[in-house]
Amino acid sequence: MGRVLETPVQKRFSDLDPFRHVNNVAQQSYFDVGKTDFYARVLGEEVLLGDLRVVTVSTSTSYMGQVRMHDDVRVTTTCEKVGNKSMTLFQRLVVDGEVRSESRSVLVVFDFVRQEGRPVPDAWRARLTAE
């Protein structure tokens, strides 16, 4: 596993259900905030704006506890595995050191000009596996 990045998350009133819990859909958006931060800090802006980008092909999430309105939420993100054309990110929503949910996402490298999958570039692989 590579380095673990931590990203603070700002909750919005619309993230809450009538019981003042952050709903599961909003938690998925928090994971996306962590992914975007991870891409920018680890892979660089080119992965967000270039011809080669990452596309999510699979996501699974487990919910272990509630996230409440006043909780200080952080999302941790790390690259768990790098394959030939894909990578797996592992993320956690953490409140006061306690994991409230976990998510794994499989991402593929996609060439938007050619409209086809591509191998993970060597430069990306080096950044993803650096400690």
Flag whether pLDDT at 2 surpasses 80: no
- In the predicted model, what is the mean pLDDT of residues 26-38? 96
Instruction: Give rounded-to-5 percent helix, strand, coil for the chain.
Output: 25, 45, 30
Task: Report the C-alpha gap between 88 and 80 in whole angstroms.
Answer: 5
Flag whether pLDDT at 130 surpasses 90: no
CA 112 to chain CA centroid, Å, is: 21
